[in-house]
Amino acid sequence: MSIQTCFITKKELSDDDLLIFASIRPQLAALIKNDFPTITNKHYISHEALNSYRTKYLEDLIGKETKELNKLDKDVIEAMNANLLLSQNIETDIEGTFTLGQRIADKIASFGGSWTFIIFFFSFILIWIAINIWVLLWQPFDPYPFILLNLILSCLAAIQAPIIMMSQNRQEEKDRAKK
């Protein structure tokens, strides 16, 4: 590993901390050449100096596009400079505060809105009708027009609707926390 000097900062650094100027993108190289016209393709530039020019290049691009940087743009640029995250996964924090009933409601709502539930319930209805028409032809427990089946469907809808509403409320809470 050899030691080279950064053309911009004049610091002596190892090869791992430097890039040869010839390998830099043309847009960044042009920006650097504006400030350092004597730099050649054989010179080295540090990652730190290159990052500051990347930031300057991004500011110029964004500035040309919007004519001025808004707060979010500045936050993005500052985060890039500091190698920070702009967002975090708050899903686990939010879900940790849910009660047992809320978590159960979410599970029921996710199952109730799935193809598995639709196929299962459609099969259940077909089997119910088949049993009451063909199997128990002489004494069906729920003869046509299947009043007991209608009662079961109505009860399911009456229970499932508020559970789905609870789950939607929780999703709204998650969405509000993400903003």
Q: How far apart are CA 60 and CA 77, in angstroms?
A: 11
- Cβ atoms of 59 and 69 within 8 Å: the answer is yes
- Residues in the chain, pLDDT under 50: none
Q: How far apart are CA 99 and CA 43, in angstroms?
A: 62
Boundary residue ending a domain (31, 59, 82): 82
What tokens appear for 38 in the block? 């004597």
Q: Is residue 108 located within the same domain as residue 69?
A: no
Three-class SS of residue 16? helix
Q: How far apart are CA 150 and CA 141, in angstroms?
A: 13
pLDDT of the residue at 83: 67
pLDDT of the residue at 171: 80
pLDDT of the residue at 116: 93
Q: Is residue 72 located within the same domain as residue 113?
A: no
Q: How far apart are CA 104 and CA 53, in angstroms?
A: 52
- Cβ atoms of 53 and 80 within 8 Å: the answer is no
Boundary residue ending a domain (65, 82, 99): 82
Rg (Cα) of the chain, in Å, rounded? 33
Q: How far apart are CA 75 and CA 119, in angstroms?
A: 49
Q: Is residue 31 located within the same domain as residue 64?
A: yes
pLDDT of the residue at 114: 87
pLDDT of the residue at 91: 59
Boundary residue ending a domain (82, 117, 147): 82
Tens of pLDDT, residues 21-43: 899 988 889 989 999 999 999 99
Q: Is residue 173 located within the same domain as residue 131?
A: yes
Q: Is residue 127 located within the same domain as residue 66?
A: no
Q: Which domain holds residue 70?
A: 3-82
Which amino acid, 85?
Answer: L
Q: Is residue 47 located within the same domain as residue 74?
A: yes
pLDDT of the residue at 123: 95
If one counts the domains in the chain, the total is 2
The beta strand positions in the chain, using DSSP E, are 3-5, 12-14, 18-20, 44-46
Q: What is the pTM of this model?
A: 0.44
